[in-house]
Every structure is written in structure tokens, then in C-alpha cells.
Amino acid sequence: MKKTIVLKVNPQKPEKEKIRIAANFIRNGGLVAFPTETVYGLGADALNPKAVLDAFKAKRRPLDNPPIVHVADVKDVYKLAENVPSKAEKLMKELWPGPLTLVFKRSSIVPSVTVSGLGTIAIRMPRHEVALALIRESQCPIIGPSANLAGKPSPTSAEHVLEDLDGKIDAVLDAGPTYIGVESTVLDLTVNPPQVLRPGGTPFEVLKQFIKGVRLNPVAVADREVVVEKARSPGVKHKHYAPRADLVVVEGELPAVFNKVRELAETYTRKGKRVGVLATDETVADYGVGVVKSLGSRSDMASIAKNLFRLLREFDAEKVDVIVAEGIPMEGLGLAVMNRLRKASGYKIVKADEN
Ligand code: TXA
Ligand code: MG
């Protein structure tokens, strides 16, 4: 057990002394959780194999699922990647810093453990002053797998980080809740046309404006389990985002979804289960069964994304056995939210229809 230090920092103007303390841990091979605009990451020096291995261990993450490497300067991309296509240069110019991770061929300076032995590397520049200050002060690229135990919902606050990693890491920079709430979009630029491997904070609609022909890999849609050999995204074969409770997601048009969610919640309740209902502002008052929580308004996808992982953790804290979740439209950030819900459900997807 380590003593995990909590460093409260100003999210816009992080205090230099606190960043210095955190950066010292990173430089000495330690582990520091830090906020990004998406979720909290578990930071370690990406070029120090021992530190990277320690991060995998702290998270109990399988060694074959590589983390994202975070940079504060585009120059570092040219050191970490073997070649940087012009498409990437355009995206970095237009959309970085921001919730977009790009997959490149890796260079030889990258330790094998950092990329799980792959020939590729995932890199992003986060849009959060604390993350950028930490990377600059550490003077190295920093890995940032989400700072949760493997398989759990990603942390959107320092409290979530401590729930999972207190005593296992040196410090957490606590800058309050993250802004977006779902992880970055992962875009593979080593294939033609480029493919989204994980939908996230940069909506697909936005990507399409900047690169022609970009596709969604089936693992990004996540409407079914994809055979592992066929999965380009190394993380997909592992269970993800899952609360302790079982989760069922109901998809379709709103009135039908409401009826089906209520019917399922009533059925589980009759069977003696403690039921959680993941609702929206439009429906939250009308269920009258189970522990009901709202993700936010259906007209405000940003708040739905921001609340998702926190609510999944809250249901666990309330010890529900099963969560019945309303599906939402797969537009904008909705695609990332539905990807997380579908995976958390283990693909237990119920289609609600009018009849
Ligand atoms: O928003 C985010 O991306 C957060 C914050 C902390 O930056 N980080 C994050 O990291 O979500 P993690 O490790 O939980 O997710 C990394 C994702 C996984 O889906 C992994 O499979 C994929 O990136 N990935 C990493 N390296 C890859 C590679 N070489 N090729 C394809 N996918 C890769
Ligand atoms: Mg993760």
C-alpha cells in the first residue's frame, strides 16, 4: 500500500507547486492520476517500461490492451510515430488539443510494453490545462489509460479514482469533474480509409467534416460482440465500462422505450431484484418502480455524456442487482454513450417497438 496524495488544483490555472510535486512522481517512475477533458487518466512516463508496467498492475489491466500516450506538443508525435500522414496533420491542427486519439505506426523509441507489443501507437493531446501542465513539467509523454480498475466505468472525478486506486498510486490531481464524461474518439490512420475504433468525445459527424471517407469500424457501433481475431481495437475483447449490476439497454422510439423499460423493471422487481432505472429528464418522473435516475435531457446530449459513468457508479453504491437503461439516439455524443451502454450490458440489447 502507498499513501495516495490528493492534490487539489485549479482546473484553469493549476498551481505550479502542485504540478511540480506530481511531475516529480512521474519523472521518478511513479503513478499520478490526472484530469483530462474526457475522464481521469492514470499517468506514468510512457518511455519508462517499469512505470508503464506498474500502471497496468495498479489498474489490473490485461497486458494486451495498450494505453493512449498523451502529449502536450505536436513535435512529440513525430518522435513517437514512424510516419505522420497529412490527414493526421490536418486533424491535429484542427482538432487538437481535444478528445481525439490518433493511431499511427510506432517509432523504435517506444518501449514494447507501452504499446502491448503492437506495431502501432495511439496518441492524443488533451484539452485540459492540468493535463497539459503535468506533461510539460514531466518532460515526457505520459500514458493515460482511464484511471479506473479494468472493467469498471471510467472515472469522471477524483473521488471515482480513489474508489478504485487509493493506496495503489502516488497521487491524484483533483480538478473537479471532467468536462465531457466519455473518453476520446479513437481513429486508426494506419488503414485506408481511416476507421473509428471507439466513438468518443469528438463526434463522428465532426470527423467527417475533416477527413473524407472515414468509416465506423463495427466495434465502434458495438451492436453485437465482434470476433476477437477480427477486432482491430485491442481493447474490445475485454469487458468494459461495467457496473457491478447486470445491465439491459432498451432501444427504439421514446414512447415504446419507456413502456418496455417500465415493463422490464416491474418484472425484475417481482422476481425480488433491486432494480435501477437509467432514465432521462423526459421520463424520470413517470416510472414509479425501482431506483430511478436521470442522465439529463434528451435535448442535451452533452449532459447525458457527462453524467453516464457517475450514474453507473451510483447504482453500484446503491447495490442494485440490475439496471434497465433507456437507449438514446446515436447522434453526436449519443454514439459514444450508446457504445458504452451496449458494452456495459454485454450486448443485452432489447428492441422496443410500438406493437
Ligand atoms: O479520453 C481518453 O482517451 C482517456 C483519457 C484519460 O485520455 N483515456 C482512455 O484510455 O480512455 P484507455 O486506455 O482506457 O483506452 C485506450 C483505448 C482502448 O480502447 C485501446 O484499445 C485503444 O485506445 N488503443 C490503444 N492503443 C491502440 C493501438 N495501437 N491501436 C488501436 N487501439 C489502441
Ligand atoms: Mg478505459
The pair phi, psi for residue 146, each rounded to 5°, is -55, 140
| Position 212 pLDDT exceeds 70 | yes
Share of residues in the chain with pLDDT > 90 (%): 91
Around Cβ 275, how many Cβ atoms within 10 Å?
A: 24
Please report the pLDDT score of residue 354 as a whole number: 62
Whether residue 69 contacts residue 165, with contact meaning beta carbons closer than 8 Å, is answered with no
* C-alpha of residue 237 to centroid of ligand 1, in Å: 13
Share of residues in the chain with pLDDT > 70 (%): 95
pTM score of the predicted model: 0.96
* C-alpha of residue 145 to centroid of ligand 2, in Å: 6
DSSP reduced 3-state for 91: helix
Per-residue pLDDT tens for 42-101? 999 999 999 999 999 999 999 999 999 999 999 999 999 999 999 999 999 999 999 999
Q: How confident is the model at residue 237 (pLDDT cuts 50, 70, 90)?
A: low
CA-closest residue to ligand 1 atom 19: 235
First to last CA, the chain: 56
Whether residue 14 contacts residue 175, with contact meaning beta carbons closer than 8 Å, is answered with yes
| Position 234 pLDDT exceeds 90 | no
Q: How confident is the model at residue 224 (pLDDT cuts 50, 70, 90)?
A: confident
Ligand 1 pocket (Cβ < 6 Å) reads: 36, 38-39, 41, 65-68, 99, 101, 103, 115, 118, 120-122, 126, 144-146, 183-184, 186, 197-198, 233-235
* C-alpha of residue 268 to centroid of ligand 1, in Å: 35
* C-alpha of residue 164 to centroid of ligand 1, in Å: 19
Per-residue pLDDT tens for 89-132? 999 999 999 999 999 999 999 999 999 999 999 999 999 999 99
